[in-house]
Chains A and B, each alone.
Chain A
Amino acid sequence: MTVRLYDHPLSGNCFKVRQMLAWLGVAHEAVPVDFYPGREHKSAAFLANVNPLGQIPVIDDDGFVLRDAQAILVYLASRYDTQGCWYPNDPKLRGQVAMWLATADEVTRTASAARLHDALGYSHLDIEACRSGARAVFRVLDDHLAEQASAGLRWLAPAPGPTIADLACFPYVALAGEGGIALDEFPALRNWVWDFRHLPGFIGMSGIFPAGPA
Chain B
Amino acid sequence: MPFVTDDPNMLDDWLLVGPTAALAGTSERQPHATRLLGETLSLWAAADGTPQCRLGAQPLAVQSRYGYLWVCPSGRPARPFFEFPEYTEPGRRIIDCGGIGVAVSGLRVIENFLDMAHFPFVHAGYLGKVPHTEVAQYQVKVEPATGEIWATDCRFWQPRASAAHDTGSNVRYTYRVMQPFSAMLYKSSLRPGAQDAIGLFLQPLDDEHVIAHTLLACCDDTSSDAELIAFQQTIFGQDKPILENHAFKRMPLEGRAETPTRGDTSSVTYRRWLRERGMRFGTRAAA
Binding site for B on A (CB under 8 A): 7-10, 32-34, 36-38, 40, 118-121, 123, 177-178, 180, 205-207, 209
Contacts and interface: CB of A to CB of B under 8 A. Distances in A.
Interface of B: 19, 33, 96-103, 211, 224-227, 229-230, 233-238, 240-241, 244
B101 A207 contact: no
Given A7-B230, A9-B233, 14 more contacts: A10-B233, A10-B237, A32-B229, A36-B98, A37-B19, A37-B96, A37-B97, A38-B225, A38-B229, A40-B226, A120-B98, A205-B237, A206-B233, A207-B238
Given A8-B230, A120-B101, A34 B225 contact: yes
Given A9-B233, A206-B237, A207-B241, A37 B99 contact: yes
A205 B126 CA distance: 13
Interface secondary structure of A, over-half rule: loop
A80 B230 CA distance: 28
Which 9 A-B pairs rank lowest in CB-CB distance, beginning with the nearest?
A: A206-B237, A37-B98, A32-B226, A34-B226, A9-B234, A32-B230, A119-B101, A206-B238, A118-B101
Nearest to A122: B101
Given A180-B103, A207-B241, A9 B98 contact: no
A177 B98 CA distance: 21
Contacts of A38: 225-226, 229
A121 B99 contact: yes
Contacts of A209: 241
B192 to A, nearest CB: 26
Contacts of B103: 118, 180
A188 to B, nearest CB: 22
B101 A121 contact: yes
Given A32-B230, A118-B103, A121-B99, A9 B237 contact: yes
A32 B98 contact: no
A178 B99 CA distance: 15
18 contacts: A8-B230, A32-B227, A32-B229, A32-B230, A36-B98, A36-B233, A37-B99, A38-B229, A118-B101, A120-B98, A121-B101, A121-B211, A177-B244, A178-B241, A206-B235, A206-B236, A207-B240, A209-B241
Nearest to A8: B230
A90 B244 CA distance: 43
B249 to A, nearest CB: 13
A29 B237 CA distance: 21
Given A9-B234, A178-B240, A206-B234, A34 B100 contact: no
Contacts of B33: 123
B144 to A, nearest CB: 37
Nearest to B241: A207
A178 B242 CA distance: 11
B230 A178 contact: no
B185 to A, nearest CB: 19
A70 B226 CA distance: 25
A34 B229 contact: yes
A113 to B, nearest CB: 14
B46 to A, nearest CB: 24
